[in-house]
Amino acid sequence: MGYLMGHSLHGTAFLLIGFVWAIKHPLRFLGRKSKYSLQIEKLCYWVELMEWGGMVIICFSGAIAEQCVPGAPCFHLYNETTHQWLGLHLWQHSTVHAFFLMAGVVGVLTRCKFQIPVGLDYLLFSLALFNEGLMFYAHSHRISALDKYIHHILLIPILSGAVCSLFEVWLRNNPVLELFRTSMFITQGTWLWQIGFVLQDTSIWDHNDPETNVFMAICYSWHYASVILFLAFTYGIVYWVLRILKGNCEEGMKMQKFIQADTKTYTALLNGSDEE
């Protein structure tokens, strides 16, 4: 992964999926007892199918791209002439993509009504996140202590998301776990952008100053606090929209009942006039 470009591309992917979840999960939870529950469930089904299908496409493309870009190992792992490993950091990225690719395939098959054990999609998704954490922990091309430190901070949202997804193997559609997983994904996305900016311009950040590490820890806390506020905002927006739709629906039903009652009264009066 490069500096700003590589980190921002991967960060944007996590942000996009996190933003989708930030709307989808509250919508499903708040809309369960509404008149539109069937439509909402159908919408969530197609959104999930696109999520897992998009994961397959993006991860397959990413795994191939990491091996085929200029300077990439092109599926060669070891140079027997120089006795050196070839592009291990790119092999790490390809491995991460491969695990998410497998999870995506199972996720698509599960939603296409294949006979897949319930929870297998989330199990593989959790394993993919654990593997991502391992790859980031063992990243081999660290340039400074600060570089290593900010990548280790990234293990917090990665491993937290992995544990949360593992719980969801047995506790599917749990709103608390879904919101927590969403917060971890968005935080992972924002922190990847932060890493890209820190490593892009080394003249701004003193990589040898321990105080910089302290600020990075504070900065991560600010990232997560901002994510919590964002999720609260999106939850409130979804709740407000559903309340408006519910109010409009109730007004429409009252108006329809009023029209029906008025029609019955008018018909009764006409029948009475005919009898006279």
More confident residue, 14 or 248: 14
Domain ranges for the chain, please list them. 4-271
Cβ-based neighbour number of residue 40 at 10 Å: 19
pLDDT band at 134, cuts 50/70/90? very high
Any long-range contacts for 164-167 (C-beta under 8 Å, 24+ apart)? 165/122, 165/125, 165/126, 165/129, 166/122, 166/123, 166/126
Residues 99-128: pLDDT tens digits? Answer: 999 999 999 999 998 888 989 999 999 999
Core vs surface per residue 169-208: b (16+ CB within 10 A) or e? beeeebeebbbbbbbbbbbbbbbbbbbbebbeeeeebebe
Q: Which residue would you say has higher pLDDT here, 98 or 3?
A: 98
pLDDT at position 55, please? 94
Tokens of 151: 């990548």
Mutual angle of helices 175-200 and 145-153, in 10-degree steps: 170
Q: 252 or 106: whose pLDDT is higher?
A: 106
Res 60: pLDDT: 94
pLDDT (tens digit, 9 = 90+) per residue, 188-199? 999 999 998 888
| pTM for the structure as a whole | 0.85
Ranges 41-45, 163-167, 206-210, 263-267: which has the least confidence: 263-267
Give the separation between CA 238 and CA 208, rounded to whole angstroms. Answer: 45
